[in-house]
Amino acid sequence: MDDDHEPGAADALTGRRREPIGAPVIRADPAVAGAHAEQAANFDPDDPTQLSAAVEEVRRFAATDGTIDRLRMLRGAAACAACVRGYGSYKDAIAAIGEEVGVSFVRKWARVHDLPIEIRRQVALGAIAPSAAKHIARVTGVDRYDLAWATIDHGLTVREVREIAGAAAESTVRAELEARAIALGRLELELPVETYRRLRTVAADGGQTLEEWITAAVDAQQR
CA pair distance 18, 11, nearest whole angstrom = 6
Residue 111 has pLDDT above 70, yes or no: yes
Greatest mean pLDDT range, 158-167, 183-192, 208-217: 158-167
Q: What is the dihedral of CA 143, 54, 6, 96, to 10 degrees?
A: -130
Task: Say how far apart CA 4 and CA 160 lie, in whole Å.
Answer: 29
pLDDT tens digits for range 135-163: 999 999 999 999 999 999 999 999 999 99
| pLDDT for 33 beyond 70 | yes
pLDDT in tens, 81-106: 999 999 999 999 999 999 899 999 99
Q: Residue 117 — pLDDT band, cuts 50, 70, 90?
A: very high
Asked if residue 49 has pLDDT above 90, the reply is: yes
